Amino acid sequence: MEPIARMKCTACRVGAPTVTDAERDELHAAVPEWALVEREAIPRLERVFAFPNFEDALAFTNAVGALAEEEGHHPALLTEWGRVTVTWWTHKIRGLHQNDFIMAAKTDELQGVA
């Protein structure tokens, strides 16, 4: 299997299957810094990134936004002074898809860029 951060998101349609428990565990091992959380009965991947100031946090937010547009898959982003919370899940299927883990890995790579 190629490194997850090098994979591309695939189009996901309503009714597509969410990852199985075994797939989730395998994919989560590639992005261990991400927490598996559940909100509104929807499983999600979430990570808080720390920055020394608001300007760096905002630059990271913008980099994640550009990546999301490029891949056609969009997270929830909360930008605060010194931190950005990124949450990935697939809205169309109300759960986790391989795309969410791919985007988490790509987000990790941006941390040193912003």
Whole-angstrom distance between the N-terminal and C-terminal Cα of the chain? 28
Phi, psi of 90 (to 5 degrees): -100, 110
Q: Model confidence over 58-111: pLDDT tens digits?
A: 999 999 999 999 999 999 999 999 999 999 999 999 999 999 999 999 999 998
Q: Which CATH number fits domain 33-110: 3.30.1360.20, 3.40.250.10, 2.40.50.140, 3.40.50.1220?
A: 3.30.1360.20
Domain positions in the chain are 33-110
Q: What secondary structure letter does DSSP report for 45? A: E
Angle between helices 21-30 and 98-110 (to 10 degrees): 10
Q: What is the pLDDT of residues 25-68, one digit of tens each?
A: 999 999 999 999 999 999 999 999 999 999 999 999 999 999 99
pTM over 0.85: yes
For the chain, percent helix, then strand, then coil, each to nearest 5?
A: 40, 25, 35
